[in-house]
Amino acid sequence: MSSPPLIELQRITHRYGRHSAPAVVDIDFRAARGERVAIIGRSGCGKSTLLQILAGLVSPTVGAIRVATRPGSGKPIRRTLMFQRPLLFPWLNVEDNIAMALRFDGRGHEARSRVGELLALVGLDGRGPSDVRELSGGQQQRAALARSLAVDPDMLLLDEPFSALDPVTRGELRRELRDLQSRLGVALVLVTHDVDDALDLAERVVVMAAEPGCIVGEYVIPQAISEVERIALRARLIHALEPEPISYAVGA
């Protein structure tokens, strides 16, 4: 990785309770400006814990976190976290849901001009006055994405945001998100158990295993990957997610 990291984790271990088993162990991780990274693993491997540490929502029990500052301000980079569900406020319409992010950021005066731009950016132009309950699942995730982008993040963190969507909508949103990331230059870190999410969105894939939650592999996805190479890499990633076989001692 040529550019300096926006965020770097060094030897991170985290326990949710003093006597509990660690959720993640001895994690080294970094992400650079404009990079797309996918973290894949089976359920319970600690990937969501790792994402929350990257978001600053969880402080690790052990280890160091280095966060870059925004040029000219000296303030830490902005990180926004997009969850599995849209988590839109049902009593607000679409534009007010997006404007809420700006108000929380002390930029409510920008809402009138900014919300329209964001809606157009995510393909919801003209849907601002709509009740969020009128939107399809994919449209709700687009609205949630617009809200996440409202504060101009340097890093967008996504916790399995496509898991509840049908395959066609899922594929459309993956392509749209990749195009958006390329246009905006925001770093993207995606947590998923879906290998195709990782292959479509990332340029680097980190594989985690459970018990304990640790990184067991890392794969770089070529920019101009052929279909044959993709099939081979997909098979390697699926194999990397398989649990170790259990051996049984047979008594005499």
| pTM of the complete model beyond 0.85 | yes
Q: Which of 125, 152, 179 is the last residue of a domain?
A: 152
The answer to whether position 249 is within a domain reads: no
129 in the same domain as 33: no
Cβ neighbours of residue 84 closer than 8 Å, sequence gap 6 or more: 159, 160, 161, 163, 164
Assign residue 48 the CATH number of its domain: 3.40.50.300
Which of 195, 194, 158 shows the shortest CA–CA distance to 51? 158
Q: What is the mean pLDDT of residues 100-126?
A: 85
Residue 10, pLDDT score: 96
Residue 244, pLDDT score: 59
d(CA 118, CA 98): 8
Phi-psi label, residue 200: left if phi above 0, alpha if psi -120 to 50, beta otherwise:
alpha
Q: Which of 152, 183, 198 is the last residue of a domain?
A: 152
The answer to whether position 247 is within a domain reads: no
**Tokens 């049908």 correspond to what residue?**
166
199 in the same domain as 185: yes
CB 31 within 8 A of CB 186: no
Q: What is the mean pLDDT of residues 176-184?
A: 89
Structural domain boundaries enclosing 118: 90-152
Q: Which two tokens stand for residue 114?
A: 């900014």
The answer to whether position 248 is within a domain reads: no
| Model pLDDT for residues 216-251, shown as the tens digit of each residue | 999 999 888 899 999 999 999 999 888 654 444 554
Q: What is the mean pLDDT of residues 84-99?
A: 90
| Model pLDDT for residues 139-156, shown as the tens digit of each residue | 999 999 999 998 899 999
172 in the same domain as 62: yes
d(CA 70, CA 230): 36
